[in-house]
Amino acid sequence: MTDNSTTRSTRGELVLSLRSVSKHFGAVSALTDIELDVHAGEVVALVGDNGAGKSTLVKVLAGVHQPSTGTITFGGKEVTLSNPAAALDLGIATVFQDLALCENLDVVANIYLGRELNPLRLDEVAMEVKAWTLLNELSARIPSVRDVVASLSGGQRQTVAIARSLLLDPKLIMLDEPTAALGVAQTAEVLNLIERVRDRGHAVIMISHNMEDVRAVADRIVVLRLGRNNGVFYPDSSNQELVAAITGATENAVSRRAGRRQAEQSA
Ligand SMILES: Nc1ncnc2c1ncn2[C@@H]1O[C@H](COP(=O)(O)OP(=O)(O)OP(=O)(O)O)[C@@H](O)[C@H]1O
Ligand SMILES: [Mg+2]
């Protein structure tokens, strides 16, 4: 489905760097001393069990939460992401899991929601052309940009949300569970889309619980466990290693089963 071997070596400059980032909610430590580097033209998968801190990390980078301690360097400068608009202005775009699309509006309107070219006099033609161009560049399969979002499939909606996040040409795009609600063919399409976004030179952070998807598209796999870094892996790492890092146990039912499955597959 995806051939990563040709694109893996093209990663560019360091876009994002986190050092000792922690986030406490009262007595709860959601993140402790997180270190993370992301380069242009690279997909980094963020994986971990429920409550590992993935969404909190994405929200810190999206300007939704302020870190309790630590530094965030973006585009070579130390930054404070005080609110979502500040993060977006700097070039950090986020596709949240619920996508936040408007069902009753068409594709063009959704891509431009709140960012109309001329808010006083909507330039429908220019917006339609730009939306079409963007979707074409992504080789997105949307029948018509005048279709309302309510009529689109899950994969097509994800595509619209990703296109929307690319409108301001961000350096970094973060996707929270982009394939969680999708079938096999739609998942493949969205993974291809993520590769094309990476190949345009954007840095991508993708949260996923699906190890197959992660392996198919990620250049590096960063594991969080109980709010801490718990290893960096590559797509050729074994399921057993990955599951062990995620669950914090080398010998448990989950990793034994994953190991058996892998042994069966390679037999
Ligand atoms: N606003 C908040 N107030 C208090 N605690 C929070 C808040 N947001 C997250 N937490 C806590 O921080 C920890 C990490 O949560 P987070 O949502 O980041 O995990 P996650 O890795 O995204 O999990 P999941 O896979 O279930 O989405 C959890 O213990 C959670 O209860
Ligand atoms: Mg989450």
- Give the pLDDT confidence of 130-141 residue by residue, as tens digits: 888 888 888 888
Mean pLDDT value across residues 44-66: 96
Residue 223 near residue 242, CB atoms below 8 Å: yes
Helix or strand run (H / E) with residue 28: strand 28-39
What is the best residue among 46, 56, 98 to mutate for testing ligand 1's pocket, by most ligand atoms within 8 Å of CB?
56
Q: Which ligand is nearest to the CA of 54?
A: 1
Q: pTM of the prediction?
A: 0.86
Tell me the per-residue pLDDT of 191-231, one tens digit each, with 9 for 90 and over. 998 999 999 999 999 999 999 999 999 999 999 999 999 99
Nearest to 52 by CA among 230, 171, 213: 230
Q: Which of 8-12, 19-23, 48-52, 131-135 has the lowest mean pLDDT?
A: 8-12
Counting atoms of ligand 1 from 1, which one is nearest the CA of 23? 12
Look at ligand 1, atom 28, and give the residue with the nearest C-alpha. Answer: 51
Q: Which of 16-20, 60-64, 129-133, 207-211 has the lowest mean pLDDT?
A: 129-133
What is the structure's pLDDT at 90?
A: 95
More confident residue, 239 or 74: 74
227: left (phi over 0), alpha (psi -120 to 50) or beta: left
Q: What is the CA radius of gyration of the chain?
A: 19
Give the model's confidence band at 263: pLDDT under 50 very low, under 70 low, under 90 confident, else very high: low
Residues with Cβ within 8 Å of 150's Cβ and at least 6 positions away in sequence, in order, are: 103, 104
24 C-beta closer than 6 A to ligand 1: no
Look at ligand 1, atom 16, and give the residue with the nearest C-alpha. Answer: 53
Share of the chain above pLDDT 70, in %: 87
Kindly compute the dihedral angle of the four CA atoms of residues 126, 128, 130, 131, in this order, to the nearest 10 degrees.
160
Mean pLDDT of the chain: 87
**β-bridge partners, 203:** 172
pLDDT for 121 beyond 80: no
Q: Which ligand is nearest to the CA of 23?
A: 1
pLDDT for 250 beyond 70: no
Look at ligand 1, atom 22, and give the residue with the nearest C-alpha. Answer: 55
CA of residue 53 to ligand 2 center, whole Å? 7
Give the model's confidence band at 261: pLDDT under 50 very low, under 70 low, under 90 confident, else very high: low
Residue 9, token pair as written in the block: 């070596």
- H helix runs in 5-147, sequence order: 54-61, 84-90, 107-112, 124-137
Three-state DSSP class for residue 119:
coil
